[in-house]
Structure 1
Amino acid sequence: MSAGGALAGRRALVTGGTKGIGRGVVLAMAQTGADVVTCHRADDDSAASLRAELAELPGKHHVIRADVAQPEQARRLLAECESALGGLEVLVNNAGAFRPRPYATLGEDEWAATIAGNLTATHQLCQGALRLMGPGSSIVNVGSTVTFVGMAGGVHYTAAKAAIVGYTRSLARELGPDGIRVNVISPGRIDTEAMDALEPQEAARQRAMFARFTALGRLGTVAEVAAVAVFLASPAAGYVTGQNIHVDGCV
């Protein structure tokens, strides 16, 4: 896949695209030829800096404020995709967050918010985007390696991400006859700006600790996850659907 060509002519929506993995996916898709719409929940420096980076790249790119966990905002985001791009060939459901919580103290509101922000939002965007997509389109849902290793303090998040794997497999079966592919990327521990925000000593401690869990002896990079997203979104992955691709260095 040569730079500027892998996604030439394709129109993409990447949710949660101003930080971390999402930002890497947005930039990689724009750099390989796609017109990209992305969203963020709050106006901050990351949104402004992404707009500036995208302005330097060819194509039509839009950074929109929208919380996809809110159904009306998800619908507005899709309407803006239709208005700005005229349709979609690629949807990357990356947005999602949770707050660690011991299971014994996990409240109903926290459980519901985590399911809504990770699983329900993915469903609503996929279903709403169908009218904008046609044969050859690709949906990429972002999961997590916690679905098979588990995570203390993250039962609610793990449950949501595990559900996305089954959801994706079934959706791939249903949309296959329409020529639409659906896959999951499950990242492991990825070195993002969130790690850089820690005190240097703590960041070094965490990098060393998580690196020991992997066969490669290091954390993954945002670029490595983004490269898999570009592949799954491209015609090169035309016979890949219903898969859960682990980008985790073998944990």
Structure 2
Amino acid sequence: MDLDLKGRKALVTGGSRGVGRGVVLALARAGVDVFTCYHEDSEAAASLERELKDAGGTHRVVKRDLARPADAASLVAECADTFGKLDLVVNNAGAISHVPYAELPVEEWQRIVDTNLTAPALVIRHALPLLGEGASVISIGSKSSEVGIPLRAHYTATKAALRGLSRSLAKEFGGRGIRFNVLALGVIETEELRARPAEQREKLAAMYRAKTALGRLGTPEEVAGAVLWLASDLSRYVTGATIHVDGGIS
């Protein structure tokens, strides 16, 4: 199906690995011009640039630390210089750690909040002048924000906050025709999981498969499918929603 996305302009944060990479490449292959960023120099970032060249279109891959407000501002400013407008923003960049709450340093709490909540809020705020009627803003959330997970109180708090932020912005900017939605992900198989020792990897995968209605883990491409739908006019009456891309995980 042709979603009629060719020529649209998108900003995707955290695009060099995992879900972000799957989203960036799916958008580029659908004809969208994509501006994305990464946190640390790596072969993943370099290989993404090569793949985007092969996909055709106008794409940029830049380095930014979105936990720094100045980097969030400069990212959107450079995107504005490149495209002049935006039809889609995908807040994907995020951080996670596993720390007992009683031992959680305030610095680690702040790092996760800065990356997972403040950065998306600032990216959206700076992007607002570039967004016109029909624009779509998608924030990548997590099923864990509904159920809670030990050792991740700081992470799940930020993902729950993204829902409130998106719901409020949907009402504030609905009159301008700008839509705000959250994708609540289940367990997605990415490089992080594949990099674990084989025994540990299989143990984790088996545990999550058993908790998931479809009996398997998700893929970045499947998350990208939901992004493509929310980027298209097929979803033009969908806003303020949290859409679960989780395989029915409990």
Q: Is TM-score (shorter-chain normalized) higher than 0.5?
A: yes
Aligned length: 249
Give the Cα–Cα distance (whole angstroms) in 2 for the partners of residues 105 and 95 of structure 1: 25
Give the Cα–Cα distance (whole angstroms) in 1 for the partners of residues 4 and 243 of structure 2: 19
Give the Cα–Cα distance (whole angstroms) in 2 for the partners of residues 88 and 77 of structure 1: 13
Please list, as runs of the form range in 1=range in 2, the aligned pairs for 1:215-230 lying within 5 A after superposition.
215-230=213-228
Give 1:200 shift.
1.6
Aligned 8 A contact 1:6 1:230 in 2:
no
Residue in structure 2 matching 1:46, options 44, 61, 70? 44
Residue in structure 1 matching 2:194, options 196, 199, 202? 196
1:168 matched to 2:169? The reply is no
Aligned 8 A contact 1:66 1:74 in 2:
yes
Q: Which residue of 1 aligns with 2:7?
A: 9
Give 1:6 shift.
3.6
Deviations 1:43-73 (A, max 9, x none): 1100000001000012101100011121111
Give the Cα–Cα distance (whole angstroms) in 2 for the partners of residues 93 and 73 of structure 1: 14
Give the Cα–Cα distance (whole angstroms) in 2 for the partners of residues 51 and 167 of structure 1: 32
Give the Cα–Cα distance (whole angstroms) in 1 for the partners of residues 201 and 13 of structure 2: 27
Give the TM-score taking structure 2 as reference length: 0.98
Give 1:89 shift.
0.8
Give 1:193 shift.
1.2
Q: Which residue of 2 aligns with 1:21?
A: 19
Residue in structure 1 matching 2:132, options 131, 134, 137? 134
Give the Cα–Cα distance (whole angstroms) in 1 for the partners of residues 67 and 108 of structure 2: 13
Q: Which runs of 4+ in 1 moved over 4 A?
A: none
Q: Which residue of 1 aligns with 2:61?
A: 63
Give the TM-score taking structure 1 as reference length: 0.97
Q: Which residue identity does 1:128 align to in structure 2?
A: H
CA RMSD of aligned residues (A): 0.9
Q: Which residue identity does 2:209 align to in structure 1?
A: A
Give the 3-state SS of the residue equivalent to 1:8 in structure 2: coil
Deviations 1:155-205 (A, max 9, x none): 000111001101111100011000100000011000111111011222111
Q: Which residue of 2 aligns with 1:186?
A: 184
Mark the runs of 5 or more structure 2 residues left unpaired by the alignment.
none
What fraction of aligned residue pairs are identical, expressed as a percent?
A: 48
Deviations 1:107-143 (A, max 9, x none): 1111111111111111101010001111110000111
Give the Cα–Cα distance (whole angstroms) in 2 for the partners of residues 111 and 196 of structure 1: 27
Residue in structure 1 matching 2:209, options 211, 217, 220? 211
Mark the runs of 5 or more structure 1 residues left unpaired by the alignment.
none
